[in-house]
């Protein structure tokens, strides 16, 4: 099976987000962090996290990019357990059972993004329109096969048109967009 892991190609996440995820953490979209917020009122680093961050489940830090990696059932179970505990401790989930169900849903969605080859990078663009949060995901992969991952050295984009707001990093790359609505 495949899951998402945070990756840092350069130190920019430490400047963009209040808390950057540690490289190599299991990751989910993280849109749920903003469910009790007014996205239009977000500013600065919180706005950056809303617009373009994946959530590292151990640190609850943010990552601009995640990488598709192979994972075992044990890895998945441990990641779900970690997120469930975070949902209870940090987000007020009413019980560990409720939190585990929510964490399972987050990882099911995250794994649905892993239909591309291992080592493919994924970026997110999140927007709030008409009372709904929408997420668009782009894949970024080396041209002509695997290469060492270095910032600004590789990206080829495939897919649909970019949203009206875009991250410059992926502007250099190709894109494949998948949209999901959260209500």
Residues 33-86 have pLDDT tens digits of 998 889 889 999 999 999 999 999 999 999 999 999 999 999 999 999 999 999
Q: Which domain holds residue 169?
A: 2-182
- What does the pLDDT read at residue 35? 87
Residues 8-34 have pLDDT tens digits of 999 999 999 999 999 999 999 999 999
Query: Phi first, then psi: what are they for 79, rounded to 5°?
Result: -65, -40
In whole angstroms, give the CA distance from residue 50 to residue 39.
7
| Cα pseudo-dihedral 96, 97, 98, 101, rounded to 10 | 120
Q: Against a cut of 0.85, is the pTM above it?
A: no
- What does the pLDDT read at residue 173? 40
Residues 141-181 have pLDDT tens digits of 766 665 555 544 444 554 445 444 444 444 434 434 444 44
Q: Any bridge partners for residue 99, and if so which?
A: none
What's the token pair of residue 99? 């939190």
State percent of the chain over pLDDT 90: 70
DSSP string, 76-142: HHHHHHHHHHHHHHHH--S-HHHHHHHHHHHHHHHHHT--SPTT-EEEEEEEEETTEEEEEEEEEEE
- What does the pLDDT read at residue 41? 92
- When divided into structural domains, the chain yields a total of 1
Residues 101-127 have pLDDT tens digits of 999 999 999 999 999 999 999 999 999
């Amino acid at each position: 099976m495949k899951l998402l892991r945070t990756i840092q190609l350069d130190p920019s996440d430490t400047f963009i987000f209040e808390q950057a995820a540690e490289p190599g953490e299991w990751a989910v979209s993280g849109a749920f962090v903003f469910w009790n917020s007014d996205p239009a009122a977000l500013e600065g680093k919180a706005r950056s996290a809303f617009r373009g961050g994946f959530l590292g489940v151990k640190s609850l830090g943010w990552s601009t990019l995640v990488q598709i990696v192979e994972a075992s059932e044990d890895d998945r179970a441990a990641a779900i357990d970690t997120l469930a505990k975070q949902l209870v401790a940090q987000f007020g989930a009413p019980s560990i059972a409720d939190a585990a169900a929510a964490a399972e849903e987050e990882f099911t969605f995250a794994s649905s993004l892993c239909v591309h080859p291992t080592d493919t990078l994924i970026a997110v663009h999140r927007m709030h329109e008409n009372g709904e949060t929408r997420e668009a995901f782009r894949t970024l992969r080396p041209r002509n096969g695997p290469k060492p991952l270095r910032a600004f050295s590789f990206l080829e984009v495939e897919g649909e048109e970019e949203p009206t707001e875009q991250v410059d990093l992926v502007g250099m790359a190709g894109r494949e967009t998948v949209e999901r609505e959260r209500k």
